[in-house]
Structure 1
Amino acid sequence: MRISLYDLLTQKPLLLADGATGTNFMNMGLEPGFPPDIWNLTEPSKPQTLHQQFVDAGSDIILTNTFGANAPRLKLHKAQDDTYAINKAGAELAGQVAEAADRPVVVAGSVGPTGELFQPMGEMTMESAVAAFKTQIEGLRDGGADVVWIETMSASEEIQAAAQAAIDCGMPYVFTASFDTAGKTMMGIAPGDIHGITKDLPEQPLALGSNCGVGASDLLLSTLAMTAADPNAVVVGKANCGIPTVLGKETIYSGTPELMYDYAQLAADAGVRIIGGCCGNAPEHVAAMRQSIDDYIARNEAGPRPTRESLEATLGALVNPPLEAGAVGRRGASRRRR
């Protein structure tokens, strides 16, 4: 069953997104350095299997296997000419799983950063960035994606370029940034300022928020700043599953399903409406978040708004805390009952 993200947001107080792509693909044999996006054409059963596992775990939203499927990144593997085909196939594979589900599932077309820097630090211009993202998003649109999901961004210009490309393609969009540098993105975006990034564009996002970064505590601290800055915004929180440790070719994440259960409860109390997992989150972690969200809704009573202290007590210490004191402000309006 397919549904638009807008409609699903009107029907449910909290939505569950999926988990990790790359770290789960490594368990399926993905070699380090190989772009998983190409599997949409060469190993389609593998991304489709992962999508099915996430739907079976309870995800309301599944992200296509297209995070790095833009021409600048694919060029590193001499696959830039396949940009449209890889994205179209990625949306089709996820769409087949969504259509076979016994409940509404949204297919979100994943769009990650290009890896390029904008002028004057690099060679990318707004025009070239929009063009690169437009080719990718045309493939996602034509493959049947329901929404463009711009994620793990660090530069305002790149968010604006991807959003403009989505608008040019007639697609609704969501965007998230990674706040992994002392409470800000690598390019200096503060979480409380994220709402203004697309203010001059003709269409605004259906949701915005944070993903990836470092630990779950750090991510929720960033979402607290977002919900404090705009209590009415639809905020996304897709946290990594604890802290990674590299052991040879393998990356192990410290988080357990129990930790992600607690994370989902705290995210809901922080005002996050779209909850999910990023790196390290396997289907069992997503299933724990599904149970957490269902328990939260059934309880019909929100807990206290989290603080830095309560986040650290439950999820562990901040890995890369903000430099400024008072980074999390008070919410400007009363919180709606969940």
Structure 2
Amino acid sequence: MRRLLPHETDQRFLVFAATGTDLIFNRGVELPGFASFPLVEDPEAQPIIVDQMRDLMKVAAEANLGCIIDTLTWMANRDRAAPLGYGDDRLADLNRKAVALMCSLRDEAERDDVLVALCIGPSRDAYARLAPMTVADARAYHAIQIGSVADAGIDLVNAYTFNQVEEAAGAVLAAKDCKVPIAVSFVVETDGRLDNGTGLEEAIDCVDDLTDGAAAYFMVNCAHPDHFSHVLTGHPRLKGIAVNASRCSHAELDNATELDDGDPKALGVEVARLVGKFPELSIVGGCCGSDMRHMREMAAGIKA
């Protein structure tokens, strides 16, 4: 059954992109190198990662909102998994297992507005200043991960924390080749721009130009509203925000020894303000440092 995606319906949706920090600081799980995908193969860890998304589904249902449950595969690509001993075959199998876990959870919900997304990330550290991939190279690269689960029951691909236009465009074309919808989420710095200085909305337009508008929609994630709210103009292709709890820069967060979980209530108020000002933002959620307290505050703010 094909479910309606957020840009195809008036329903609002929640996402939770803070799986890593939530697992470490709130659920007591160790993540070597911040890689959470190995948990998919761990029978003892599987209930923890399922409960994490089940908690999101509960918050969404209580507010009569839809939700998008992401697989735990943001780093489950060739470059980032190889140092942990994963070859291509094992990685493909893991991605399919991750999808199967979330599809079972979607079935449990018995709602048409619970969607399963394959979560993908950039090929390398999103915060490292590295030479960009070409569009063609990125297309071939991301087709491996997307193609491994294209027939496994996902509703879409969520490409989080991309900071290079070329790689984002390649991921979009890879999803198109695999006949799977994709949403691209850019990460911005404290000035609301990508690390290389490209504006958020400029990046969206560039990806659309390079792909003939093949992405389903765009988002921004891993930034506090203070960092990007001033650059929003109501771009019709920007449909979602997944915000950090902390106002710190990425460099400050990388060097932090304790979790900065900010102010859940204040964050919920700010997210509600943005949705009120820009009603095309139909997807909201938390990123680094957030947990279900923040999600409940956001849900309460946008359901009104």
Which of the five TM-score ranges fits, normalised by the shorter chain?
0.7 to 0.9
The one of 240, 243, 249 equivalent to 2:244 is: 240
Map 1:92-111 → 2, pairs under 5 A: 92-103=100-111, 104-111=113-120
The one of 48, 55, 80 equivalent to 1:73 is: 80
Q: What secondary structure does 1:60 align onto?
A: strand
Gaps of 5+ in 1: 296-338
Gaps of 5+ in 2: 61-65
Displacement of 1:130:
2.0
The one of 45, 59, 69 equivalent to 1:57 is: 59
Structure 2 counterpart of 1:269: 276
- Shift of the 218–258 alpha-carbon distance from structure 1 to 2, 3 Å rule, reads same
**Are 2:239 and 2:282, in contact at CA under 8 Å, matched by a contact in 1?**
yes
Residues 9-60 of structure 1 deviation map (CA, whole Å, 9 limit, x = unaligned):
4443532222411001113322341510111122322221211111112151
The one of 13, 16, 26 equivalent to 2:14 is: 16
State the TM-score, normalized to the length of structure 2.
0.84
Structure 1 counterpart of 2:96: 88
State the TM-score, normalized to the length of structure 1.
0.76
Is residue 2:199 matched to residue 1:190? yes
- Shift of the 135–116 alpha-carbon distance from structure 1 to 2, 3 Å rule, reads same
Q: What CA distance in whole angstroms lies between the structure 1 residues aligned with 2:100 and 2:269?
A: 34
**Are 2:18 and 2:290, in contact at CA under 8 Å, matched by a contact in 1?**
yes
Structure 2 counterpart of 1:137: 146
Letter of the aligned partner of 1:16 in structure 2? L
**Are 1:40 and 1:86, in contact at CA under 8 Å, matched by a contact in 2?**
yes
Q: What CA distance in whole angstroms lies between the structure 2 residues aligned with 1:259 and 1:141?
A: 39
Is residue 2:230 matched to residue 1:255? no
**Are 1:241 and 1:280, in contact at CA under 8 Å, matched by a contact in 2?**
yes
Structure showing greater radius of gyration is 1
RMSD: 2.6
Letter of the aligned partner of 2:164 in structure 1? A
Give 4+ residue runs of structure 1 displaced > 4 Å after superposition: 121-125, 244-250
- Shift of the 237–184 alpha-carbon distance from structure 1 to 2, 3 Å rule, reads same
Q: What CA distance in whole angstroms lies between the structure 2 residues aligned with 1:123 and 1:19?
A: 24
Residues 79-136 of structure 1 deviation map (CA, whole Å, 9 limit, x = unaligned):
132221221111111111111114320112111111179xxx6495444322221111
**Are 2:121 and 2:159, in contact at CA under 8 Å, matched by a contact in 1?**
yes
Q: Number of matched residues?
A: 284
Q: What CA distance in whole angstroms lies between the structure 1 residues aligned with 2:299 and 2:186?
A: 23
Displacement of 1:246:
6.5
Q: What CA distance in whole angstroms lies between the structure 1 residues aligned with 2:125 and 2:178?
A: 22
The one of 152, 155, 162 equivalent to 2:161 is: 152
Q: What CA distance in whole angstroms lies between the structure 2 residues aligned with 1:186 and 1:258?
A: 29
The percent identity for this pair of structures is 22
Q: What CA distance in whole angstroms lies between the structure 1 residues aligned with 2:91 and 2:217?
A: 26
